[in-house]
Amino acid sequence: MSQCLGNITAVKKEHFVPMSSENTDSILQLIAKGEESAFNLLIEKYGNLVWSIGRKFLYKESDVEDAVQEVFIAIWKAAEKFDHTKASEVTFISMIARRRFIDYLRKVSKHRNLQSIDRDNGQELFKESILNQSTDLQLIKDAIGTLEIEDQELLKLSIYQGYSHSEISKLLNIPLGTVKTRIRRNLIKLKGLFDIKQRATVIELNNA
């Protein structure tokens, strides 16, 4: 166990050496094994991401604060379900975070607006660490890049900013039916690209 922790610490000290999705030293796996200190690592590594997602979904800061705590507890409880052959750690965490924030959003029914938010240049380094740690993240960036700029904007509003389809329709002055159709079409396209990559990863793992 200490060996595992040592590796993760090394990843941090060396400033984000790539950690592939098949790495057996993932934080979630340590949590699943009952390593209590791994929870600290989880917050340290993904705190900014989860906080950032929460800020996109929820309007009131106090709601974000509560929801973020719930998200991390939920991740901690679900860690044993994590399967690195099906999703990368960051994908797994993002999935849980999204579900929790969507649930929370339904409860409070207040949407975070599009105003600018606090900035911290140190965050850039953190983003780089996420990008490097998992091979499928470069793919997602490339995949999003294949979409039309307008479609990227639609997906961004829906997925990243958490706006409902009717809100997007009003915001961009596009018929609701068009919003639905374009979001559905582009999600299907992205899913197709991800699934291809997923299958390739599984084959790589099986051949390793």
Partner 1 sequence: MHKEQIQLERLLDLLVLEASVNLSQQEREELNRLLDLFPEYTSDYFHKTTALAQVGFYLEDDFNNETLPEHIRKKTLYRHKKELGQSTVTDYLDHFMRTLFYRPQFAWALTVLMTIGLSFSMIEFKNYESNFRYLPLKKIVMEKTADDLIQYPWHSRTNDLGPINGDIVWSDQQQKGFIKIAGLPMNDPNENQYQIWIVDPLKHGQPVDGGIFDVNRTDKAIIIPINPKLPISKAVGFAITLEQPGGVVVSSEPLLLTAPKERPQETFPKV
Binding site for partner 1 (CB under 8 A): 36, 39-40, 43, 47-53, 55-56, 62, 65, 68-69, 72-73, 76, 87, 90-92, 94-95, 98-99, 102-103, 105-106, 116-124, 126-127, 130-131, 136-137, 140-141, 143-144, 155-156, 158-160, 162, 164-165, 180, 183-184, 187-188, 190-191, 194
Min dist. Cβ of residue 102 to partner 1 (A): 5
Element (H, E) at 54: helix 38-57
Taking the least distance from each CB to partner 1, the nearer of 6 and 191 is: 191
Q: Which residue is it, tokens 């068009």?
A: 178
Min dist. Cβ of residue 42 to partner 1 (A): 9
User: What distance in Å separates the CA atoms of residue 158 and residue 168, rounded to the nearest whole number?
Assistant: 7
Min dist. Cβ of residue 60 to partner 1 (A): 11
Min dist. Cβ of residue 71 to partner 1 (A): 9
Give helix then strand counts, H and E, for the chain. Answer: 10, 0
User: What distance in Å separates the CA atoms of residue 140 and residue 134, rounded to the nearest whole number?
Assistant: 11
Nearest to 139 by CA among 88, 208, 180, 81: 88
User: What distance in Å separates the CA atoms of residue 144 and residue 128, rounded to the nearest whole number?
Assistant: 18
Taking the least distance from each CB to partner 1, the nearer of 122 and 175 is: 122
